[in-house]
């Protein structure tokens, strides 16, 4: 892409950013606020990795809209401080509590699910935000690939499997929102896996399976351990992070298909979104949008009115994008 093309693309992004800013300022109409009409109230949302950044903003925005939020984090002190910060802002009707959750620890996830069931009887919204990325700028180390895959993919999967049986049934459906990234696109123009056959199988719903996704990430991890992985075979930028988000995207599509035949009143709408390049600790504060802006599409997906609810899609800036 030439200089003029880049400038035009940048202007389109900025224009969409301005449009979404205006959309965010439009309040939900009473008929759209499905979470206000639940019996018994309130709507309960769980947000993972929510002590800072995009997770914190997702929790804050959901709470401001009137959803009771269970804000989770590994670090107890930071999680409690984050929940208190949301409460201290003084927004009317805000209801938030903190609970410890380590998505990489099966026992922690199990304990959390048991607590949710005993305390709330279930949830209506799950936002899977917990994730890690150890690369910055031009770095592309795979030294921590195992931790990245375990947190971003297997951790997300572990939480979904534990919480899905606890999704409360209603005519509005349960909502699962996975925080992902454009870096995890199968056919990204500048950042994609090199194996054309694998790309084809991942994009073909008839071939997509949990086994295929797991085999892909295990193969990648084995190659990183043996130090024979190739950037021509795997995404070229932030490779371990990109592979983890590729797996999350594929798993989102797979789960959407599995959930598609649920009867009315038991629907679960699962989608993923890319928040953009956000100024957070994960990006070393090098992003070009705020965490508040980055969280917006995820909150929008979580609160979509039932007649607009979608499933198995990938979004950015409140628009569907390709996998």
Active site residues: 241
- Give which of 110, 105, 112, 85 is closest to 96, Cα–Cα: 85
Tokens of 177: 């929102």
Cα–Cα distances in angstroms (integers) from residue 167 to residues 102, 218, 295, in the given order: 20, 30, 22
Q: In three state form, how does the secondary structure of the chain look?
A: CCHHHHHHHHHHHHHHHHHHHHHHCCCCCHHHCHHHHCCCCCCEEEECCCCCHHHHHHHHHHHHCCCEEEEEECCHHHHHHHHHHHHHCCCCCCCEEEEECCCCCHHHHHHHHHHHHHHHCCECEEEECCCCCCCCCCCCCCCCHHHHHHHHHHHHHHHHHHHHHHECCCCCCEEEEEECCHHHCCCCCCCCCCCHHHHHHHHCCCCCCHHHHHHHHHHHHHHHHHCCCCCCCCCCCCHHHHHHHHHHHHHHHHHHHHHCCCCCCCCEEEEEECCCCECCHHHCCCCCECHHHHHHHHHHHHHCCHHHCCCCCEEECCEEECC
Tokens of 3: 């200089």
């Amino acid at each position: 892409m030439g200089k003029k093309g880049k400038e035009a693309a940048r202007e389109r992004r900025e224009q969409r950013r301005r449009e979404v800013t205006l959309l965010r300022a439009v309040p939900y109409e009473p008929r759209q606020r499905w979470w206000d009409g639940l019996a018994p109230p309130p709507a309960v949302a769980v947000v993972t990795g929510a002590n800072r950044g995009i997770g914190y903003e997702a929790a804050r925005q959901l709470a401001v809209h009137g959803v009771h939020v269970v804000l989770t984090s590994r670090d107890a002190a930071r999680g409690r401080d984050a929940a208190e910060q949301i409460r201290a802002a003084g927004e009317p009707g805000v209801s938030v509590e903190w609970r410890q959750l380590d998505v990489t620890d099966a026992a922690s996830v199990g304990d959390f699910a048991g607590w949710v069931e005993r305390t709330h009887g279930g949830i209506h919204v799950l936002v899977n935000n917990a994730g890690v990325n150890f690369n910055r700028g031009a770095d592309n180390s795979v030294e921590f690939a195992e931790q990245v895959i375990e947190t971003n993919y297997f951790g997300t999967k572990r939480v979904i499997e534990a919480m899905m049986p606890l999704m409360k049934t209603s005519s509005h459906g349960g909502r699962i929102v996975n925080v992902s990234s454009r870096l995890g696109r199968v056919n990204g123009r500048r950042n994609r896996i090199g194996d054309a056959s694998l790309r084809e199988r991942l994009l073909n719903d008839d071939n997509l399976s949990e086994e295929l996704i797991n085999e892909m990430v295990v193969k990648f991890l084995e190659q990183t351990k043996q130090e024979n992985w190739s950037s021509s075979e795997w995404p070229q930028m932030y490779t371990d992070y990109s592979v983890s988000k590729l797996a999350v995207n594929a798993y989102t599509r797979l789960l959407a298909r599995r959930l598609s035949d649920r009867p009315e009143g038991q629907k679960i709408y699962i989608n993923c979104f890319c928040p953009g390049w956000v100024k957070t600790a994960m990006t070393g504060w090098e992003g070009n949008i705020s965490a508040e802006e980055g969280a917006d599409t995820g909150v929008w997906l979580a609160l979509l009115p039932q007649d607009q609810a979608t499933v198995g899609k990938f979004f950015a800036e409140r628009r569907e994008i390709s996998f």
